[in-house]
Structure 1
Amino acid sequence: MPHLSRRQALSLLPAAGLLAVASPVRAAASGADHARLLANTVAMLAGTSDSNTRPEVAAKLAAILRTARQRLTAMDQAGDGELFAGLTLGADDAALRQAFQFLYEIALATRTPGGELDGDATVQRRVVEGLQWLHERHFGDQAAGYYGNWHNWEIGIPTHVSRTLVLLADLLRDERPALTSTYLATMDAYLRNGKDGDVDLDSRFHTGANLADITANRILQGALTADDARVAKAIADQATVFATIDPYDLRHGVTDGYYEDGSFIQHHSVAYTGSYGRILLTRVVQTLKTLEGATTGSGLGEVVYRWITDGFAPLIFEGWMMEIVKGRAVSRTNTGYADVGIIVEAIADLADHVGGDSALALKKYVKHLPAADTGSFVSPVSIARYSAIRSDDAIPAADLNPPSRSVAFNAMDRAVHRRPGYAFALARSSERISKYEYMNGENLMPWFQGDGAYYLYLAGEDQREVFGVDYFTAVSPYRLAGVTAPVEERRTVPELYGRFWYENPGHPLNFTSSSESQNTYVYFPRGENAFSGGVTSGVYGAAGFVQSDDVAYTAKQEGVLPEDFVAYRNARATKSWFMLDDEIVVLVAGVAGQGGRAAVTTVDSRIAAPGDAVAVTGERWQGGAWQAGDTTPPRWLRYANGTRGTAVGYAFLTRQPVTAGLETVTRSRRVVRTSNPDTSVTKNVFTASVTHPAGGQVPELAYALVPGATEAGLRGYARGTVRVLANDRHVQAIEHKGLGIVAANVFSDGPRLAGRMLVDGPASVIVQSGERTVVALSDPTMRRDRVSVVLHGPRLRVDSADEGVKVRRVPGGMLIQATTRHAHGRSFTATLR
């Protein structure tokens, strides 16, 4: 991903933004076209006369009108002390945010061209009266406000208020001019995580998607009051989110944002492309639309284009957003396809803000993805634009991903491996990246989601039936695919403390709902291991991970945390994943349940509808059919869903008993999120796992995941397609003779043998031999100045090498050395012949 520094980002700003950085006084004279800003925003939200006559937009217009009428009915039926019937205000910040949302939805219908309420001044006055009522009774009193979640007061409510004020700007100017300025002053006062009522780039709350939200609101507020200084500073503040995060030269201490390898982080250490990254994408594209023709210059569209190609596209499989980058949103009922629908709207809009080749590539991608539900689009104009792209026969469909792709998102401890027919997604954690995210009663049982959990997506499936909220509902949190977990029972945060967080404001760490200590030890704790990373070589990848406790457990043992704070000890394991063409090879060593506990490694867990024709077959090492409940080690197993025509094979490269079988599970979706509907989900759950007994000799485990495998193919595979060269806590390495690949993760310091390679660890290495020999290596710890490998064998000469790679002859072979200082896990490659 091309690096964009803060200086480069600022160089692309509109002139008004640059002036704000230099001098707020000079910015006041920059003269942004405020009327155009407001008109652009109304058009974006409500559509135009042209867009709203398109038949594809009719359903959106009907939904806008229907919602507005529902809200008006609720106003008509409101009782004493209510603005909307059934919405109790005064102690629930979410209810107050909802009241402002309802007013916005009514106002929107009155500005939607072609709608029955378009221009209805009577309805608009009802909205204005509602704004006045809410301010007088529930929003204006600073002493009574700001309870609950800070996000509602600084982002949620101001978003609805700012947009409503824009929609009703003409009426307010003529009939209630003081209301806008009154609201702006109040919203500034509620910006308590800012500075003097404005954004503070040093605040841990004003980063990434949150910063984009706040600044987008402030651009609108400045346009409403013709305040050039506010507009200019908001544009300049938002521009900082376009800068690529350099972890070795942080600005304002911010780690939230996009990284050079395409990773996106929010909440300082959470892999979050699929949720907050999506929000950031949406907001900045909306800002580009708002500013169009109202300020000079931009050029930031090409930066966002790279977010799409390098950050989002690898994570979208057949229109589904992968689980590994959703944070706590994995527990929500509307992720996956809905996430991508929102992204598609941004992509369609972005095509108007980038160059010709980039615009065409985006349009091709829009046609490549499955048809989106345009009902989730914000803008009628976007629906019209999207529909025009989809119906244009001159635009061929084309993926932004090549058919085969392996991506190491090492900056966020994630990996994605794609092939025709499947995609494999892996989630790890480290001292840099959180093990999971829990917050506000969402993702109640997240404990092992960053401990090597993986997701194997098969082509042609409705992923809602295989993953999404139902996967986490039906599958035990201790049996997520790929996870090694101790045998124990844990309790959720609400079960432990009777609320959504741990509270102890009297402790020196000051545990409150949004305190830094809450983030560090409860909401998204990091691991304690440095080794989590990997290497890519062309379309192949290797990743390694040393499983550790999280920081909360260690801090509890050290006496840093209060006595009543509960922290759980993790199991130990050293793991590698070698991602090839037809298989992903998994090595597991050094497993220990710790504290007298056994541990279980889950080879796979998959769900299916109860009526699906699911079968599990297998073969023993000594021959003969493997049966469910068989204690004899299987040579291979195969899970097949005949109804969906999909299958996964499991070829075991080591001999140990495997517990595998099918179970019908019924649970409520509330087991993973307290605010989910109390809907019972029944799934047929397949699990294959290996138990590691407590205190005994723990054998190494090696197996291959084979997507789409047939029984005949598995019989052939088990006869030696892959050879394990090493599998212990120091070195894990494999050889694939058909591909000419030797790959290794070396976890210990110093030189270690892996086949014909001598690797100076810690390091990850892939060597592919053929007409040429390609060597790729990286530092998964992100701590080393250099890594190296010696290839034993015939003399070779350099064909090409990345910058920072040196190659020279040494006794017995060739030394390839890469300077990895400040490379943040990047892969380095040399080609020899």
Structure 2
Amino acid sequence: MSTPLTLDALRERWVDLVTGRQQISAEPEAYAAGIQSRDDRVDTDLARLDPRQNQVFGDLDLAADPDVTATYDRFERIAVAWATPGSRHHDNEQTLTALVTGLREANRIVYRAGQEPFGNWWTWQIGCPKALSTSMAILHDVLPEADLAAYAAAIDHFLPDPWLNVWGNRPQTGANRVDTCQAVIVRALAVPDPEKIRHAVAGLPETWDTVITHDGFYADGSFIQHGTVPYAGTYGTVWLIGIARIIALLADSDHLPGGLADSLAARVADSFAPWVFNGQLSDAVSGRGVSRYAAQGDVRATALIEAMLLLSRGVSESYADHWRGLCQGWIATNRAYGSDILDGATVTRTALVRELLDSGVAPIDLPTGPRLYAAMDRLTHRGQGWSVTLSMCSPRIAWYECGNGENNLAVQTGQGMTELHLDSDPQQFLDGFWATFDITAPAGTTVDHTPLPPRTEGEWANSMPPAEWAGGTLLAEEALAGQHLVGPGGTGLRARRTWWFQPRGWLSLAADVHTESGAAVSTVVEHRKVVPGTSLIVDGEVVTEATVANPRWAHLAGVGGYIFLAPASLRAGVAERTGSWRDNHHSGPTEGLRRSYATLQLDHTGHETAAWLFLPGVGQAQTAAAAASPGVTILRNDATGQAARSGDTLALNGWAALECDCVAIDRAASLLLRRGDQWELAVSDPTQQAERLEVAVQGRFELAAPDGRVTDEGVTVETSAQQTRLRITTTGRAGSPATITLRPLP
């Protein structure tokens, strides 16, 4: 029987985790570049250290709360360097003296017991205590006991309970809860307090419990932070890396309940992995993080990879093997276009990645098909060689999030923005995309062209559109999504949008499009970064700038074909755009960037509808042929319903009770119906408000499961001479579809 790990042993393990000193000692040359990179930053930090009456670093003002956090971040970085073998600061007396003096001064000036907090609560309950507690653990054996006690008292003052935001008088949730628990656990290792550790660990499982409102994980895999923002790509990854580090810290100790890691493993499969495309963690679930120059999709993915690899050490082999295979594939994809996860990597990340690369684990791809995240108004669909994401908003999900000077211009991105990822174009959403694309009219959206000011609808995603619904349904390899669009900024823009995703591409519909502003309104078919000289063709003619009445088709070289299925006025062009990261982020680089974009916009002057089919990857000849025989029929596209038929499948988004083709619905619904020897029906309540809905299908049927077993769970059936009426309980489904198999009766 193994000896229980002491708090001292766990504290040393934490220092191992944050410095990587065990790996460095075994193979110092492998980590020299990472150590050098950190040392360069520490040199700069130490050069700025200038303790005075009201500051510690000469360039940081301790009367500004972001600078308080930055002060403690620098101390943590210096402490890590001091404890890292191979660093020029390792065990350096001058570095240690600067640390001890600086921490003492910062405690005297601002982060101390009894100090009234100011500014953002995050500074006091997460930013400072996370960094300070790690510095305390590293310096435990060299700091005077009085200093350790003072720093512990400061953390206890600002963070008396990691479960609570004491100034907001509300529970801490999601990534924030994990951060506060980590801070308290490490503080309780530096100044021993087993009860604090127990309480913090007990607060962790709640962060991955299934929720039905506000922050956290939902049954369909959605992850929400700040109450209304899909955030797996930033806050979610912070949550995962935090959990992974805590589990790695406490593994095999009395403080970690058995099976804890496996209990959260499903979250990785449902909430994170599906959002990685071409080795990049999607913008669609990254909130205001899309505006950060140094944290684009490939960088966000490296953080996810690190978290998954670290967590894989504590989960069952079945999970671990699958995760390692996924990570192997993502790393290889990134390296193929010049984004190497080891460039500038920390020692910890380097060790995890080297272990994976040396393992010989084969890369794994995620399967094709759709994923609907009804709880956060998002959808993904993977095809062969392409993937797409769809971003919507509703009375539950905000238009967008801005705050802290980030993402102030992105209010249109929740209005149906589609991001097409092509295996042949992996850098589409890197290489300056978010600095140069037309953020007022993203691909897929319907927009009013009234200029809107920064921070339209306010900061921190507290404003949602007063729309009817956004949602959808899934059936095998197909997905249907719909959004009642209410434009931001009080323009009076309204529209009804539908997207039908299939293995070959997707159909887009717009109806009931109008505005009260008097400005022009457009639906954006395409707005894509292209190589200068890329050919854009409309009805067989190359265009650089043109307006085309009632086009039949368009083709963008290297991207695919667009089949127009309704009368329209199309503006098409390829043009250079300029912009900088500073335009949408307070501290982004000011350098002006130039990129070429191909744009297709349908203007709604005289046209309240739009319909087109997009076929990714097809050539010009295939596009022209598809225009002659598109394989899809629009059945209706109006304010009451939007419906189409392709082969044996019917897609219907009903905005109210209606009859269409062979079905009738008694209220708003999203429905896919596939005819065959047995009929398959997938239907949802996208409003997430109804207790039930009714679907009437022409013909006589009984309920049957695919294996022939009769089932009536949540569904009742009533058959007459001419039709079958289904009553479906939708309470508790949270917008997820009910899937029903119908067997024809004689």
Query: Normalising by structure 2, what TM-score?
Result: 0.92
User: Residue type of the partner of 1:446?
Assistant: A
Q: Does the 8 A contact of 1:591 with 1:692 survive in 2?
A: yes
Residue 626 and residue 726 in structure 1: after superposition, are their counterparts in 2 closer, same or farther (change >3 A)?
farther
- Within the candidate set 690, 713, 722, 1:812 is matched to 722
Aligned to 2:69: 97
Q: Does the 8 A contact of 2:163 with 2:172 survive in 1?
A: no
- Within the candidate set 42, 61, 72, 1:68 is matched to 42
SS across alignment from 1:782: coil
SS across alignment from 1:489: coil
> Are 1:112 and 2:84 matched, yes or no?
yes
Q: Does the 8 A contact of 1:653 with 1:704 survive in 2?
A: yes
Q: Does the 8 A contact of 2:400 with 2:410 survive in 1?
A: yes
In 2, the alpha carbon distance for the partners of 1:665 and 1:626 equals: 17
* CA shift digits 1:683-718 (9 cap, x unpaired): 11221111223xxx5342101122112111111211
CA shift, 1:237, in A, is: 2.0
> Are 1:467 and 2:440 matched, yes or no?
no
Residue 530 and residue 38 in structure 1: after superposition, are their counterparts in 2 closer, same or farther (change >3 A)?
farther
Q: Does the 8 A contact of 2:51 with 2:102 survive in 1?
A: no
More displaced, 176-185 or 199-208? 199-208
CA shift, 1:762, in A, is: 0.7
CA shift, 1:290, in A, is: 1.4
User: Residue type of the partner of 1:657?
Assistant: S
Residue 219 and residue 274 in structure 1: after superposition, are their counterparts in 2 closer, same or farther (change >3 A)?
same
Residue 692 and residue 283 in structure 1: after superposition, are their counterparts in 2 closer, same or farther (change >3 A)?
same
> Are 1:539 and 2:477 matched, yes or no?
yes
SS across alignment from 1:353: coil
For residues 322-337 of structure 1, the aligned pairs below 5 Å read 322-333=282-293, 334-337=295-298
Aligned to 2:336: none
SS across alignment from 1:823: coil
* CA shift digits 1:601-649 (9 cap, x unpaired): 111111235xx331110217xxx77784143221011112xxxxx2132
> Are 1:669 and 2:581 matched, yes or no?
yes
User: Residue type of the partner of 1:65?
Assistant: D
Q: Give aligned-pair identity as a percent.
A: 25
Residue 259 and residue 795 in structure 1: after superposition, are their counterparts in 2 closer, same or farther (change >3 A)?
closer
> Are 1:388 and 2:355 matched, yes or no?
yes
- Within the candidate set 246, 249, 268, 2:227 is matched to 268
SS across alignment from 2:238: helix
CA shift, 1:528, in A, is: 1.3
> Are 1:741 and 2:646 matched, yes or no?
no
> Are 1:702 and 2:673 matched, yes or no?
no
User: Residue type of the partner of 1:305?
Assistant: A
Residue 236 and residue 469 in structure 1: after superposition, are their counterparts in 2 closer, same or farther (change >3 A)?
farther
> Are 1:727 and 2:637 matched, yes or no?
yes
In structure 1, stretches of 5+ residues that fail to align are: 1-30, 248-254, 503-517, 551-566, 641-645
Aligned to 1:643: none
CA shift, 1:663, in A, is: 1.6
CA shift, 1:582, in A, is: 1.2
CA shift, 1:196, in A, is: 11
SS across alignment from 1:826: coil
Q: Does the 8 A contact of 2:649 with 2:673 survive in 1?
A: yes
In 1, the alpha carbon distance for the partners of 2:12 and 2:552 equals: 67
Residue 321 and residue 296 in structure 1: after superposition, are their counterparts in 2 closer, same or farther (change >3 A)?
closer
User: Residue type of the partner of 2:424?
Assistant: G
> Are 1:42 and 2:15 matched, yes or no?
yes
User: Residue type of the partner of 1:373?
Assistant: I
Residue 802 and residue 661 in structure 1: after superposition, are their counterparts in 2 closer, same or farther (change >3 A)?
farther
* CA shift digits 1:10-65 (9 cap, x unpaired): xxxxxxxxxxxxxxxxxxxxx98312321221111011434543454332233333
CA shift, 1:570, in A, is: 4.1
In 1, the alpha carbon distance for the partners of 2:703 and 2:119 equals: 65
In 2, the alpha carbon distance for the partners of 1:32 and 1:218 equals: 18
CA RMSD of aligned residues (A): 2.6
More displaced, 122-131 or 421-430? 122-131
* CA shift digits 1:132-152 (9 cap, x unpaired): 122123433855x63333222
Aligned to 2:250: 291
Residue 825 and residue 374 in structure 1: after superposition, are their counterparts in 2 closer, same or farther (change >3 A)?
same
SS across alignment from 2:559: strand
Aligned to 1:169: 140
Q: Does the 8 A contact of 2:447 with 2:487 survive in 1?
A: no
Q: Does the 8 A contact of 2:536 with 2:542 survive in 1?
A: no
For residues 147-546 of structure 1, the aligned pairs below 5 Å read 147-172=118-143, 176-191=144-159, 203-204=169-170, 206-247=172-213, 255-294=214-253, 295-333=255-293, 334-371=295-332, 372-375=340-343, 380-393=347-360, 395-399=361-365, 401-402=366-367, 404-463=368-427, 466-468=428-430, 470-493=432-455, 519=460, 523-546=461-484
> Are 1:616 and 2:587 matched, yes or no?
no
For residues 559-708 of structure 1, the aligned pairs below 5 Å read 567-609=489-531, 612-619=532-539, 628-640=545-557, 646-693=558-605, 697-708=606-617
In 2, the alpha carbon distance for the partners of 1:185 and 1:795 equals: 70
Q: Does the 8 A contact of 2:164 with 2:172 survive in 1?
A: no
More displaced, 198-207 or 342-351? 198-207
More displaced, 809-818 or 258-267? 809-818
> Are 1:762 and 2:668 matched, yes or no?
yes
CA shift, 1:122, in A, is: 4.6
Structure possessing the higher relative contact order (Cα contacts under 8 Å, 6 or more residues apart)? 1
User: Residue type of the partner of 1:596?
Assistant: G
In 1, the alpha carbon distance for the partners of 2:431 and 2:464 equals: 23
In 2, the alpha carbon distance for the partners of 1:195 and 1:163 equals: 18
* CA shift digits 1:114-170 (9 cap, x unpaired): 444433455323211110122123433855x63333222221111111110010111
In 2, the alpha carbon distance for the partners of 1:467 and 1:828 equals: 35
User: Residue type of the partner of 1:478?
Assistant: T
Aligned to 2:659: 753
User: Residue type of the partner of 1:490?
Assistant: L
Q: Does the 8 A contact of 1:281 with 1:304 survive in 2?
A: no
More displaced, 127-136 or 790-799? 790-799
Residue 628 and residue 597 in structure 1: after superposition, are their counterparts in 2 closer, same or farther (change >3 A)?
closer
CA shift, 1:82, in A, is: 8.4
Residue 746 and residue 667 in structure 1: after superposition, are their counterparts in 2 closer, same or farther (change >3 A)?
same
Q: Does the 8 A contact of 1:111 with 1:118 survive in 2?
A: yes
Residue 469 and residue 346 in structure 1: after superposition, are their counterparts in 2 closer, same or farther (change >3 A)?
same
In 1, the alpha carbon distance for the partners of 2:676 and 2:12 equals: 61
Q: Does the 8 A contact of 1:773 with 1:832 survive in 2?
A: yes
User: Residue type of the partner of 1:616?
Assistant: L
CA shift, 1:113, in A, is: 3.4
Residue 630 and residue 226 in structure 1: after superposition, are their counterparts in 2 closer, same or farther (change >3 A)?
closer
In 2, the alpha carbon distance for the partners of 1:85 and 1:235 equals: 35
- Within the candidate set 623, 626, 642, 1:714 is matched to 623
Query: Normalising by structure 1, what TM-score?
Result: 0.82
In structure 2, stretches of 5+ residues that fail to align are: 333-339
Residue 198 and residue 674 in structure 1: after superposition, are their counterparts in 2 closer, same or farther (change >3 A)?
closer
Residue 608 and residue 224 in structure 1: after superposition, are their counterparts in 2 closer, same or farther (change >3 A)?
same
Q: Does the 8 A contact of 1:331 with 1:469 survive in 2?
A: no
SS across alignment from 1:344: helix
SS across alignment from 1:590: strand
CA shift, 1:210, in A, is: 1.1
CA shift, 1:415, in A, is: 0.6
SS across alignment from 1:359: helix
Q: Does the 8 A contact of 2:231 with 2:286 survive in 1?
A: yes
In 2, the alpha carbon distance for the partners of 1:594 and 1:811 equals: 48
Aligned to 1:252: none
User: Residue type of the partner of 1:584?
Assistant: W
Residue 650 and residue 457 in structure 1: after superposition, are their counterparts in 2 closer, same or farther (change >3 A)?
same
Residue 406 and residue 578 in structure 1: after superposition, are their counterparts in 2 closer, same or farther (change >3 A)?
same
Residue 318 and residue 595 in structure 1: after superposition, are their counterparts in 2 closer, same or farther (change >3 A)?
closer
User: Residue type of the partner of 2:383?
Assistant: R
User: Residue type of the partner of 2:409?
Assistant: M
* CA shift digits 1:188-211 (9 cap, x unpaired): 3334xx769966598447221111
